[in-house]
């Protein structure tokens, strides 16, 4: 009996050095991935536009920091306006100081050149797998009904208060992105409201109510930063 392979996952490589592109392309194609390439930052951004790829669904982006036209950080910020796709930064050793800015802008990981092939492949696989798990954790199980001010998990009404609902809604709209307590307060209460522990108290309640129906984690705490919906 023949086994039909799933269509390969699509990976976008944003890199301007031909040798690195051909190396990455060969290694990842060998693993069964489909590869798109962008040679500068502007091309990378354009490859995220719906005109280019109507049911846009890359599984992962490998993003060089030093790119012509638009640099890697600009590309990452553009991607994050519309997508929570895993992004792995490719850095040269001397660019180490840039890592923090990239992680803050929403990068998931970084790999230092020259690459260790098995490490690169392992990280790519792990991030693609994790993104799928996250997708199923909240996007498949959590339903937001904005007009009714109701959120359901696995079809069950979670029974949130208005404030809890608005916090969950805000985090869910920004799924995969860390939101600080201040950002949550500003989105839900407006800028004048200054008590940041109000967020913690509400998140605690949301989690407890969700936990009545599932052990899946929907809101994660990012120590020293804030919360994210996964
Ligand atoms: Ca480069």
CA 64 – ligand 1 centroid, Å: 6
- How many other CB atoms are there within 10 angstroms of residue 207's CB atom? 15
Residue 43: its pLDDT value, please?
A: 95
2-17 burial code (b ≥16 CB/10 A, e <16)? eeeeeeebebbbbbbe
Residue 134: its pLDDT value, please?
A: 61
Residue 113: its pLDDT value, please?
A: 84
Residue 170: its pLDDT value, please?
A: 92
Residue 96: its pLDDT value, please?
A: 63
CA 177 – ligand 1 centroid, Å: 26
Strand partners, 222: 226
Q: Which residues contact 42 (CB under 8 A, 6 or more apart)?
A: 69, 70
Per-residue pLDDT of the chain (230 residues; tens, 9 = 90+): 333 334 578 999 999 999 999 999 999 999 999 999 999 999 999 987 766 655 557 889 999 999 999 999 999 998 887 777 899 999 876 666 677 788 888 898 888 888 888 999 999 998 988 777 665 555 667 888 887 889 988 888 999 999 999 999 999 888 878 899 989 988 888 766 667 688 999 999 999 999 888 777 789 888 888 998 87
Q: Which two tokens stand for residue 206?
A: 């949301």
CA 101 – ligand 1 centroid, Å: 17
Residue for token digits 């991030």? 127
CA 161 to chain centre: 28
pTM of the model: 0.59
Edge-first strand listing for the sheet containing 142-145: 142-145, 150-153, 156-157
CA 131 – ligand 1 centroid, Å: 26
Residue 91: its pLDDT value, please?
A: 85
CA 110 – ligand 1 centroid, Å: 14
Residue 139: its pLDDT value, please?
A: 60
Residue 3: its pLDDT value, please?
A: 37
CA 17 – ligand 1 centroid, Å: 6
């Amino acid at each position: 009996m023949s086994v039909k392979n799933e269509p390969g996952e699509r990976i976008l490589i944003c890199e301007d050095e031909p040798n690195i592109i051909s190396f990455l392309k060969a290694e990842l194609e060998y693993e069964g991935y489909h590869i798109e390439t962008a040679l500068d930052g502007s091309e990378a951004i354009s490859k995220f536009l719906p005109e280019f790829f109507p049911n846009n669904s890359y599984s992962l982006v490998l993003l060089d920091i030093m790119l012509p036209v638009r640099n890697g950080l600009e590309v990452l910020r553009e991607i994050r306006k519309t997508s929570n796709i895993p992004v792995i930064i490719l850095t040269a050793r001397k660019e180490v100081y840039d890592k923090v800015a990239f992680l803050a802008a929403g990068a998931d990981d970084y790999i230092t050149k020259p690459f260790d092939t098995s490490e690169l492949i392992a990280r790519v696989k792990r991030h693609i797998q994790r993104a799928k798990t996250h997708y199923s954790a909240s996007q498949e199980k959590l339903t937001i009904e904005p007009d009714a001010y109701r959120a359901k998990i696995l079809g069950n009404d979670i029974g949130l208060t208005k404030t809890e609902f608005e916090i969950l809604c805000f985090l869910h709209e920004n799924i995969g992105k860390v939101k600080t307590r201040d950002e949550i307060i500003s989105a839900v209460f407006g800028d004048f409201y200054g008590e940041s522990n109000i967020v913690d108290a509400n998140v605690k309640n949301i989690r407890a109510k969700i936990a009545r129906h599932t052990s899946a984690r929907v809101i994660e705490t990012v120590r020293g930063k804030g919360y994210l919906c996964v």
